[in-house]
Amino acid sequence: MNQDELLRLLEEVKNGRLETDEAMRMLKEFTIKDIGFAQLDTHRALRTGYPEVIFGQGKTPGQVREIIRYMDTLNHNILATRVTEEMFRAVQEICPAAVYHPAARAITVRKTEMKSPDTFIAVIAAGTSDLPVVEEAAVTAEIFGNRVERIIDVGVAGIHRLYDKIALIREARVSIVVAGMEGALPSIVGGLVDKPVIAVPTSVGYGANFGGLSALLGMLTSCASGVCVVNIDNGFGAGFLASMINKL
């Protein structure tokens, strides 16, 4: 239940169009829905403006299916991250409207059009190998009502490719910059734009990359102002934060 739905419920009770017993029944699951193996935070959309997101990793296909079965009864968009095709097939059995995004490893169900600002989010990838994280960030931002412009393969090894897209990047309200290896690209972008930059280190790289640790440390020690950093491969966190910034 979101803020608009709660207000509508209270208005209907106030105007006598809804019995208090029925309103009480609707409010019983206002904050938590216990489905045995999970307790769904049904109050989150009202509290934070965004519904709960399903983290698929470690769950079984049946668990993901049952969570989405309940969430599908609510009037908000659904996002599940770090899911497999097997999980998607299980979800499809009970939710034909579900869409699988293989590159992002995500499932979305679009139930309502969220308010979309005129501004947009730029999602910038240093290399094509970073695309899984790029797509997780982009799909997250899109399902929450944002326009996203993807700018792919513009890393520092051929920096002229970035300059070819810099006019578009400067128009964005916020940029997500995804990079592996040494993680230098966010510092470059941060020095060229006057908007926030969200840096996402990826685990892409050779041995001394240490599974993304070198990129993470490089981004954390960036000399460019206005750059913040999320965890290694955390495209979801970047997309969510960018959505919040874009809608301020």
Identify whether residues 91 and 130 lie together within a single domain.
Answer: no
Mean pLDDT of 118-143: 95
Summarised one tens digit per residue, pLDDT across range 198-240 is 999 999 989 888 999 999 999 999 989 999 999 999 999 999 9
Indicate whether 9 belongs to any domain.
Answer: no
Q: Which residues of 194-208 are buried (b: 16+ CB within 10 A; e: fewer)?
A: ebbbbbbbbbbbeee
Number of domains into which the chain is organized = 2
For residues 214 and 179, what is the distance between their CA atoms, to the nearest angstrom? 11
**What pLDDT score does 28 carry?**
59
**What pLDDT score does 157 carry?**
86
The boundaries of the domain holding residue 174 are 120-246
Helix (H) or strand (E) holding 140, with range, is helix 131-143
Task: Please give the share of the chain, as a percent, with pLDDT higher than 90.
Answer: 63
Among 86, 109, 132, give the residue marking a domain's end.
109
Q: Where are the beta strands (DSSP E) in 58-163?
A: 78-81, 99-101, 106-109, 120-125, 147-151
Task: Please give the share of the chain, as a percent, with pLDDT higher than 70.
Answer: 88
Closest C-alpha to 133, from 98, 97, 104, 171: 104
Identify whether residues 192 and 214 lie together within a single domain.
Answer: yes
Mean pLDDT of 15-24: 78
Read off the pLDDT band of 122 (50, 70, 90).
very high
Q: Is the pLDDT of residue 191 over 60?
A: yes
Contact 104, 130 (CB under 8 A): no
Indicate whether 133 belongs to any domain.
Answer: yes
Q: Which residues contact 228 (CB under 8 A, 6 or more apart)?
A: 196, 197, 198, 199, 241
Q: Is the pLDDT of residue 1 over 60?
A: no
Identify whether residues 102 and 196 lie together within a single domain.
Answer: no
Contact 89, 61 (CB under 8 A): yes
Can you give the CATH number for the domain in which 126 is found? 3.40.50.1970
Q: Is 228 exposed, middle or buried (0-12, 13-18, 19+ CB in 10 A)?
A: middle
For residues 54 and 29, what is the distance between their CA atoms, to the nearest angstrom? 18
Read off the pLDDT band of 64 (50, 70, 90).
very high
**pLDDT, averaged across the chain:** 88
Among 109, 140, 160, give the residue marking a domain's end.
109
Q: Is the pLDDT of residue 62 over 60?
A: yes
